Amino acid sequence: MNRILKYGLIGVGAVVGIAVAGGAYIAATFNPNDYKAAIIQAVKDSKQRDLHINGDIKLSFFPSIGATMGKVSLSEFNSDKEFAAVEHARVSLALMPLLSKQMIVNEVAVSGLNATLVKYKNGPTNIDDLLGKDEKKNDDSQPVKFDIASVSIEKTNLIYRDEGTGAQYAIRDLNLKTGRIANGAPSKIDLSFSVQANQPKLDISAQLKTTLTFDLEKQRYQLEGLDLQAGGAALDISNLTLNAGGDASADLTTQEFSASKFTLHATGKKAKDNFEATLDAPALSLAKDKFSGDKLTLNAKLDGASGNIAAALSLPGLEGNAQSFKSSAFTLDLDMKQPEQAFKVTLSSPLSGNFQARQFNLSNLTVAVKATGDKLPNKSVSSEMKGSVQVDALKQSVQANLAGGLLQSQIRAKVGVNGFTNPTIRFDADVDQFDADLYLPKKSADATRSASAKTAQPEQPLDLSVLRKLNLDGSLRIGALKVANVKSAKVRLDVKAHNGLVNVSPLSANLYQGSMNGSLSVNAQASPSIVIRQNLSGVNVAALTGDAANFDTLEGKGNVGINLAMQGDTVSAMKKTLNGNLSLNLTDGAIKGINIAKKLRDAQGMFGKGGASTQTQSANKEEKTDFSELKATFKVNNGVAHNDDLSVKAPLLRLTGNGDINIGNDSMNYVAKATLAKTLEGQGGRDIVGGITVPVRVSGAFSDLKYTLDFAAMVGDTVKQKVQTEVKTKLQDQLKSGLKGLFR
C-alpha cells in the first residue's frame, strides 16, 4: 500500500513537473504579440470592426493561466468611430482545474473601460452584431465555475443613448472591488459610481458596501451589513442624500424575499422646501403565498415658506398574501404649522386589500382634526369625521364616503377619483357652515404700507396653471358661508372643470337680505379670461359693498345686474379689458359723501350778491343725499363703464346725469344734474326758487373723490327765472291797464 502511494505521488509530481516545464518553455519561446496583426484581421473579417491593440499582450502559465493587455479599442460596426476602449485588463484561470476539464476564473481586473451603447431610431443597437444570435450551444461544454479570487474594476464609464426618445444615461467613475466570489463564500463588495440621466433628470453619486453570499445552483442570494450612501439631484429635488442599511435575502426558486433591521433615510430640497424621511422595517418577509411585517414606520418632514409639515405612518402588524392582506391598525399622523395657525390630523383605520389586484380598503376610517390659532374661535377647533375609503390602484380609482365634523363645519361628502396622472374628480358635498377667512392669510401692516408703493414693483401675473390640469365635476351646498368678509347663506354651486375650462353654474346664494343667481366661467387655456353673469335681487347694497370692499358710498336695497367679461395675465389687465353691461335699480337709499339739497339751501345767499362760483369738496362721511329711487345702466367698454340714463328721485330734488367710471384706473368722471323741486323751503323758512338745475361733477380716484357744484350755472338759471317772472308780471299789469282804458 505504501509502495502504491509512493509511486502515485511520484507520478503526480512528474506530471506537474512536466506541465511546469512545458509552461516555462512556452512562456520563453511563444510571443503572442507576433499574432497581433492576425487577431486584428480576424476581428475585421468576422465582425467588420477595427481592433486596435496599442499595448503589449502578456501571458502567464503558472500558477494560473492568464493574459494581460494594455490599451485596446474597438470601433463601431463598419466605422472608424470608437465603440469601446480599455486602458488595462487582466483575466486568469486556475491551472489545475483545467486538467479535469473545469474552468475556474481566478482573477478579473479592468481599468479605464469606456463604452457607448446606442439604440437607433429604427430599433436596432450598435452591439447587435456582437451578440452572436445564431451561434449554436455545445451541450457537452462545461459551465464556468465561479471561484474568483478577486474582481477589480476601476475608472469605468458606460453610456447609453436612445436616439428615438432622446434619452441618455451615463454611469461614470465606476469602481468595484470584491473579495473571493464563489458559491457559499461570503464576499466583501465595495462599489462606487455616479449616474447622470436626462429622462428622468438624475445626477447621483453612490457608494455601496456589503457582504454578498450566493448559491447559483439553488438561486439564493444574501446581503449582510448593507451600507448604501447616495447624494446629488433627482427630478426636481436638489441636495438629495440617501442612506440605507440592513440585511436582505432572496430565494428565487421559492420566490421568497426577506429584510431585517432595514432602514432608509433621505433628505433633500424641492424648490424652496426642505424635506426629510425615514423608513424603518425591523422585520419584513415576502413569499409567493404569504408575507408579514412587524412595526413598519415612516416618518417625514417638510419645511417650506408657507409652513412646516410632519407626518408619521405606522403599521404595527401586517400579514397575508398577494391575494389578501390585512393590518389591524393603520395610523397616519400629520402635524402642520403655519405662521398664524397649526393643524393636527390623525387618520386611523383597519387596512385590508389585495396586493395582486392592487386594491386597498380603509373600512372604518376616522379622521380627527385639531386646529389652533389666535384667530380661531376660542383659539382652538376640534372635529372628527368617519367613513370609508377604497383604492383600486390597477384601475387608478379612489372612492371616499365621509361624514362628520371638519374644523368648525359639519360635512357629508362623497368623492370619487379616476386616474392618478391626470385625475378626474367627482364630488357631492353638503356643509352646514364655513368661515374661510379664519384660514386665509391676513394682510400685515407691512403689506398695507407696501400697497401704496405697488406701482414701483412689477405686478405678479395670475397663475391659473393648476386649472389646466383640473378635471372636476361636482356639486357643493353650504348652509352659511363667509369668504373675504362677504356673508351668504344657502349657497349652491355646481362645478365643471376640464382642460382649463371652468364653469360654475348655477352659482346661487342668499345674501344681504336678498339673493343672487347666475354663473361664473374661467378659461385658463391661454391668457386667462373670466365671464361673470349674476342677478342680485333685493340686496342691501351698502352692507354688501361695505363687507366686500370697504366701499361706503351707496345705500339702498334693490336689484343689480352683472354681465361682464374680462381677459388678462394680471388683475390690472383684466380690469382694463372689462366689457359688458351693469344695471342698478335701488329704492330707499342714499348717495354718501355729499348732501346736495343742503348745499343748495346754503347757496341761497348767492342770490343778489352780484355773482357766484363753483365749490369743490372731498367726500364727507357725515353727509348723504337721500333718494327714494335710483336707476342706472352702464355699458362697459375696455374697463370704462359709461352711463347716460341716471335717474334719481328724492323728495326735494331730481338727479339725472352721464359720465364714465374708469374701473381700469380706479377713477371716475361723472356729471350729475340736480334739479330742485318747484316748492322748496330752506332753513329758517326762507323760500328758494324751485325748478333750477345745478351740475354736480364727481371726479378723481376712488380713494379721494372730489365733488364740484357749479353754483354759477344755478345763479344764472335763478336770475333768468326771476327776469322771466318780472317781465311776465309787468306784461300782465300793462295788459290789464290797457284793457281797462279801452273799455272806458
Q: What is the 3-state secondary structure (H, E, C) of 97-119?
A: HHHCCCCEEEEEEEECCEEEEEE
Classified as helix, coil or strand, 282 is strand
In tens, the pLDDT along 422-448 reads 889 999 999 999 888 776 655 544 444
Q: Are 521 and 494 in contact (CB under 8 A)?
A: no
The answer to whether the Cα torsion of 574, 576, 582, 587 is positive or negative is: positive
What pLDDT score does 199 carry? Answer: 86
Nine-digit cell at 483?
369668504
Q: Is the pLDDT of residue 686 over 90?
A: no
In tens, the pLDDT along 52-100 reads 888 778 877 766 778 888 888 888 888 888 888 999 888 887 766 666 6
How far is the C-alpha of 633 from the C-alpha of 586, rounded, in Å? Answer: 12
The answer to whether the Cα torsion of 458, 464, 465, 466 is positive or negative is: positive
Find the DSSP H helices in 453-595: 465-468, 541-549, 571-576
What pLDDT score does 132 carry? Answer: 62
How far is the C-alpha of 606 from the C-alpha of 682, rounded, in Å? Answer: 14
Q: Are 142 and 115 in contact (CB under 8 A)?
A: no
What pLDDT score does 310 carry? Answer: 93
Cα–Cα distances in angstroms (integers) from residue 59 to residues 41, 64, 92, 521, in the given order: 21, 10, 9, 81
Q: How confident is the model at residue 617 (pLDDT cuts 50, 70, 90)?
A: low
What pLDDT score does 638 carry? Answer: 93
What pLDDT score does 338 carry? Answer: 81
In tens, the pLDDT along 302-323 reads 888 777 899 999 988 888 876 7
Q: Is the pLDDT of residue 205 over 90?
A: yes
Q: Are 283 and 260 in contact (CB under 8 A)?
A: yes
Q: Are 210 and 225 in contact (CB under 8 A)?
A: yes
107: in domain: yes
Which residues have CB under 8 Å from 60's CB, separation 6+? 27, 66, 67, 68, 92
In eight-state DSSP terms, residue 125 is B
Range with lowest mean pLDDT among 11-20, 178-187, 471-480, 618-627: 11-20
10 Å Cβ neighbour count for 124?
11
Q: Are 60 and 66 in contact (CB under 8 A)?
A: yes
Q: Is 325 exposed, middle or buried (0-12, 13-18, 19+ CB in 10 A)?
A: buried
Q: Is 736 exposed, middle or buried (0-12, 13-18, 19+ CB in 10 A)?
A: exposed
What pLDDT score does 9 carry? Answer: 41
411: in domain: no
In tens, the pLDDT along 620-654 reads 777 888 888 999 999 999 999 999 999 988 877 78
Nine-digit cell at 688?
328758494
Q: Which of 601, 594, 590 is nearest to 630 (CA)?
A: 590
In tens, the pLDDT along 351-395 reads 888 877 889 999 899 989 888 887 777 788 888 999 999 999 889
400: in domain: no
How far is the C-alpha of 641 from the C-alpha of 664, rounded, in Å? Answer: 10
Q: What is the mean pLDDT of residues 138-167?
A: 78
Q: Is the pLDDT of residue 727 over 50?
A: no
How far is the C-alpha of 427 from the C-alpha of 414, rounded, in Å? Answer: 5
Q: How far is CA 433 from the centre of its chain?
A: 28
The answer to whether the Cα torsion of 541, 542, 544, 545 is positive or negative is: positive
How far is the C-alpha of 236 from the C-alpha of 465, rounded, in Å? Answer: 18
In tens, the pLDDT along 602-616 reads 665 554 444 456 667
How far is the C-alpha of 230 from the C-alpha of 202, rounded, in Å? Answer: 12
What pLDDT score does 609 carry? Answer: 47
Q: How many CA atoms lie within 13 A of 621 on its CB side?
A: 4
Classified as helix, coil or strand, 280 is strand
Q: Are 436 and 483 in contact (CB under 8 A)?
A: yes
How far is the C-alpha of 566 from the C-alpha of 117, rounded, in Å? Answer: 55
In tens, the pLDDT along 579-607 reads 999 999 999 888 877 777 677 666 655 54
Backbone angles phi and psi of 521, in degrees to 5: -125, 140
Q: What is the mean pLDDT of residues 449-454?
A: 46
Beta bridge mates, 480 = 433, 489
518: in domain: yes
What pLDDT score does 682 carry? Answer: 40
531: in domain: yes
Task: Name residue, grid cell 371726479.
Answer: 699
Q: Is the pLDDT of residue 222 over 60?
A: yes
In tens, the pLDDT along 264-308 reads 999 999 888 899 999 999 988 887 778 788 888 999 998 887 778
Mean pLDDT, the chain, rounded, equals: 80
Of the two residues 177 and 128, the one the predictor is more confident about is 177
How far is the C-alpha of 353 from the C-alpha of 321, rounded, in Å? Answer: 10
Q: Is the pLDDT of residue 211 over 70?
A: yes
Nine-digit cell at 425?
374628480
Nine-digit cell at 309?
409639515
Q: What is the mean pLDDT of residues 11-30?
A: 44
How far is the C-alpha of 660 from the C-alpha of 578, rounded, in Å? Answer: 14
Q: How confident is the model at residue 697 (pLDDT cuts 50, 70, 90)?
A: confident
Task: Name residue, grid cell 480576424.
Answer: 42
18's enclosing H/E stretch is helix 2-29
What pLDDT score does 291 carry? Answer: 79
Q: How far is CA 207 from the centre of its chain?
A: 33
Q: How confident is the model at residue 742 (pLDDT cuts 50, 70, 90)?
A: very low
Q: How confident is the model at residue 398 (pLDDT cuts 50, 70, 90)?
A: very high
Which structural domain, as residue segments, surrounds residue 628? 465-726
10 Å Cβ neighbour count for 144?
11
Q: What is the mean pLDDT of residues 692-721?
A: 70
Q: Are 128 and 85 in contact (CB under 8 A)?
A: no
Beta bridge mates, 66 = 60, 92
The secondary structure of 205-268, three-state, reads EEEEEEEEEEECCCCEEEEEEEEEEEEEEECCEEEEEEEEEEEEEEECCCCEEEEEEEEEEEEE
How many domains is the chain partitioned into structurally?
2
How far is the C-alpha of 132 from the C-alpha of 66, rounded, in Å? Answer: 25
Q: What is the mean pLDDT of residues 190-214?
A: 92
Of the two residues 714 and 37, the one the predictor is more confident about is 37
Q: Which of 103, 95, 104 is nearest to 64 (CA)?
A: 95
Of the two residues 130 and 347, the one the predictor is more confident about is 347
What pLDDT score does 677 carry? Answer: 66
Nine-digit cell at 668?
371716475
How far is the C-alpha of 22 from the C-alpha of 448, rounded, in Å? Answer: 97
283: in domain: no
Classified as helix, coil or strand, 727 is helix
Length of the chain: 744
Q: Is 122 exposed, middle or buried (0-12, 13-18, 19+ CB in 10 A)?
A: exposed
Q: Are 369 and 343 in contact (CB under 8 A)?
A: yes
In tens, the pLDDT along 545-580 reads 887 767 677 888 999 999 999 999 888 898 899 999
How far is the C-alpha of 221 from the C-alpha of 247, rounded, in Å? Answer: 11
How far is the C-alpha of 382 from the C-alpha of 371, rounded, in Å? Answer: 6
121: in domain: yes
Q: How many CA atoms lie within 13 A of 37 on its CB side?
A: 1
What pLDDT score does 637 carry? Answer: 95
449: in domain: no
Q: Which of 586, 485, 477 is nearest to 539 (CA)?
A: 586
Q: Is the pLDDT of residue 407 over 70?
A: yes
Q: Is the pLDDT of residue 16 over 50?
A: no
Task: Name residue, grid cell 469606456.
Answer: 114
Classified as helix, coil or strand, 569 is coil
Q: Are 500 and 491 in contact (CB under 8 A)?
A: no
Q: What is the mean pLDDT of residues 235-262?
A: 90
